Amino acid sequence: MANVYLIPTVLAEERFDTIPAYVTSAIKDCHVFFVENERTTRRYLKQLWKNYLPDEEIVIDDYEWHVITNETKGAFKRLLKEGKNIGIVSEAGCPGIADPGQELIAIAQEMGAEIKPLVGPNSILLALMASGMNGQQFQFVGYLPIDNQKRIAAIKDLEAESARKKCTQIFIETPYRNNQMIESLQKTCKPSTQLCIAVDITGKNEWIKTMAVAEWQKNKTDIHKRPAIFLIYAG
């Protein structure tokens, strides 16, 4: 049966050193790529070669390319049956984690393919590592509701569950709504609840800070349009 490689990508464009060199060997073994964005993945692979294999040339057009959609599931199954080694590439970080590649990975598991996850940066785990919060019990819940009242209710539920289970709650927001999220957290959470905000992880302007909500309330935090992870702990 074919191999399915889960190929990590950088979180910050300038940080190719966060990708292990052995990833290039997996890429060489692939026949086909399923990606979120073909243009950015092509550019990423070319830069990866420049960093680790400057004396070799990667011929991008030698690979077959598919953008991950519901319509490409059939092609994915067909190529696996044909014995093609496939690379799944996320737009940032690791495939299968908060990523549409997860559905293809589930298909590969059902078909008995060899799944080969490769080491790379993941903003969720890096934020948790740096937060000082409970790393034994945690959950990532993705995006909270956009509607203000529903978002407040979700925050209250997550905070209560964190206190009950001593669990770290991790979530994200669209970058242009980051400041609204901070405002909701400051107004909704108890003063003693710990809040961590991790911004531009691995980038040159990386910033990760954990404080009680009462401390966050003393200063205005502006992270508008910057990639961020939010964590709360009320245990």
Give the per-residue pLDDT at 14: 87
Describe the crossing of helices 73-81 and 101-110 by its angle, rounded to 10 degrees.
Answer: 40
Contact 140, 198 (CB under 8 A): no
Residues in the chain: 235
Identify the architecture of domain 123-233 in CATH.
2-Layer Sandwich (3.30)
Give the per-residue pLDDT at 133: 98
What are the extents of the domains in the chain?
Answer: 3-117, 123-233
Q: How far is CA 232 from CA 88, 149, 196, in A?
A: 31, 19, 6
Tokens at 36, concatenated: 């979120």
Phi, psi of 119 (to 5 degrees): -65, 135
Topology annotation, domain 3-117: Cobalt-precorrin-4 Transmethylase; domain 1 (3.40.1010)
pLDDT tens-place values along the chain, 235 residues long: 799 999 999 999 889 999 999 999 999 999 999 999 999 999 999 999 999 999 998 999 999 999 999 899 999 999 999 999 999 999 999 999 999 999 999 999 999 999 999 999 999 999 999 999 999 999 999 999 999 999 999 999 999 999 999 999 999 999 999 999 999 999 999 999 999 999 999 999 999 999 999 999 998 999 999 999 999 999 9
192 DSSP 8-state letter: T
- C-alpha 217/C-alpha 188 separation (Å) is 11
DSSP for 105-168, please give it: HHHHHHTT-EEEE-----HHHHHHHHH-S-SSSEEEEEEPPSSHHHHHHHHHHHHHHHHHHT-E
- C-alpha 47/C-alpha 58 separation (Å) is 10
What pTM was computed for the model? 0.94
